[in-house]
Amino acid sequence: MQDIKTYMTPCSVGEAVKAMAAGGVTAFCGGTDLSPQVESGARQYTATLMNIRRIEGMGGIAEQGDSIRIGALTTVTEIRRDPLIAKVAPILAEAAEHFASDQIRNAASVGGNICNASPAGDMINPLLVLDAEVELARWQDGAVATRRVAMADFFLAPRKTVKRDDELLTAIVFKRPAADFVGYFRKSGPRPALEISTVSVGIGGRMSNGVFRDVRVAMGSVAPTPLRARNVEAALEGKPLNADTIRAAVAATSADAKPIDDVRASAWYREHLVKVFTEEVLNHVLGN
């Protein structure tokens, strides 16, 4: 087991990323992914363990102009209970509702969920539907430099993202959805608590005069990364939502979802569930 040589609790983003620039830093937020992974031997701590939870300005949910900004430290419980989220992006609150258990939700951060980059990450799916971007900070030329990356481009492979090792994820930002935006999230699992998604499907878009536009479809646990289902989106975009388009969208799922067999489910069952959920969520949209 790797020995942790230094433990630090930076108070500012600058302090944190400056330390990260030197390398060998493990950022520790809620620890709900990190601790079990280290415990099971799947990964190791590096020489410096950095508790990022006390960094100022990295928490909270706020409106900034026409955008919503969620600090990376925001817990799943905070998202679940936030009045602004409930109003502008209920799809995110819905996903938080089906996330782990109270104990885990109180510790788990949205930033950690994204950086862990599991195809089953439940915060990722609705954020893809909201077309969110992540804000990444690092130490460059003696100052904090930030860049933004679209969530849809962020994930490379299981546990691999475009985030550099010396970068901190500071926030998630998305445009305030239009008034006619509707979105729903569905994850599988009969257990009301503590269920890792076998499959998740999130669908959102603007519904006006029976026509579905700006459609965004996200799927979890059907590929090595969480993904935007572009074929399903194409089957729906700009079309009137009815039984025929729903049937076409369901058929299109097989072009997007490429699941595998694992201990949680077979590929067959995942493909089947993606179809069931796609139909269910679209019927929900239609019903509204």
Location of structure tokens 């990964």 = 43
> What six digits make up the tokens of 68?
């919503």
DSSP helix/strand/coil, 88: helix
Using CB under 8 A as the binding rule, whether residue 269 contacts other proteins is answered as: yes
The contact pattern for other proteins, residues 191-220, with x = CB under 8 A and - = no contact, is xxxx-x------------------------
The contact pattern for other proteins, residues 148-187, with x = CB under 8 A and - = no contact, is ----------------------------------------
Packing angle of the helix pair 243-256, 267-287 (nearest 10 deg): 150
> What six digits make up the tokens of 277?
């959920």
Q: Taking CB positions, which residue lies at the least distance from ligand FAD?
A: 112
Identify which of residues 172 and 235 has a Cβ nearer to ligand FAD in the complex.
172
- Please name the residue ranges forming H helices in the chain: 13-21, 34-39, 76-81, 83-88, 90-97, 102-107, 110-116, 124-129, 151-154, 230-236, 243-256, 267-287
Among 40, 66, 141, 287, binds other proteins (CB under 8 A): 40
Closest CA to 187 of 265, 72, 286: 265
Site for ligand FAD in 34-93 (CB under 6 A): 34, 36, 52, 72
Using CB under 8 A as the binding rule, whether residue 287 contacts other proteins is answered as: no
Using CB under 8 A as the binding rule, whether residue 266 contacts other proteins is answered as: yes
- Half-sphere exposure (CA, 13 Å, Cβ side) for 127? 30
Identify which of residues 197 and 253 has a Cβ nearer to ligand FAD in the complex.
197
Site for ligand FAD in 158-177 (CB under 6 A): 168-169
Q: Which residues are within 8 A (CB) of 98 and not within 5 positions of it... i.e. 6 or more apart?
A: 122, 185, 187, 195
In angstroms, the Cα distances linking 205 to 65, 82, 126 are 21, 22, 12
Closest CA to 186 of 280, 262, 118, 264: 280
* Residue 61 contact, options ligand FAD, other proteins, none, Cβ 5-8 Å cut-off depending on partner type: none
The contact pattern for ligand FAD, residues 115-154, with x = CB under 6 A and - = no contact, is xx---xxx--------------------------------
Binding footprint of ligand FAD, residue count (CB under 6 A): 30
Site for ligand FAD in 166-225 (CB under 6 A): 168-169, 194, 196
Binding footprint of ligand FAD on the chain (CB under 6 A) = 26-34, 36, 52, 72, 99-100, 104, 107-109, 111-113, 115-116, 120-122, 168-169, 194, 196
